[in-house]
Amino acid sequence: MKPVIYPVLMFLALSGCADGLFRPATTATPDAAALPDQTRPQARPADATAVAARRPPTGARTAEDFDTTTTAERAEAAAAPQPAGERRLGDTVASLGDVARPGFWLETPLVTKTQKGRIVYAATGQSAQVDLIPIDGPATAGSRISLAAMRLVGAPLTDLPTLEVYAGG
């Protein structure tokens, strides 16, 4: 019994050291004051009233409860695209994104900067004007779509629809 207890006690004693054997060495990070020519990220001011009004209600259970877009916003997103100026970016398989995040958007690796665009769900032929938001990954990686956009194009919420993605318009 004693041969087992001593190694365990030795392990516990060494692992409790401040600069113990099992803890990686930390590196010092530069002080913000030492880098005066670099811009630090700044929080964007938000209209608290608009943000609170856009959040789903506390007891939200259905897609209708979580979709906080207005009728006017849905009509604008469903509007026909401009006759020129669009370019096809490709197809993507999309999953449902954050249901508490309002609006019409698609997070996709098909873009490198945030821009306006349009998605088309071929199964229904319906399209939606969306904000295209870049995410890391190869162009063949999947995308995340907002609840409002998914409902507007008629895609089943539990499905992984293939969408045509267009930039511009």
At the top level of CATH, the class of 66-168 is mainly beta
> Could you tell me if 153 and 166 are in contact, meaning their C-beta atoms sit under 8 angstroms apart?
no
Predicted confidence band at 39 (pLDDT cuts at 50, 70, 90)? Answer: low
User: What is the C-alpha separation between 119 and 95, in angstroms, rounded?
Assistant: 14
The reply to whether the predicted model has a pTM over 0.85 is no
Tokens of 65: 């409860």
DSSP state of 14: H
Q: What is the per-residue pLDDT across 44-62, written as a single tens digit (0 to 9) for each? A: 444 433 444 577 777 777 7
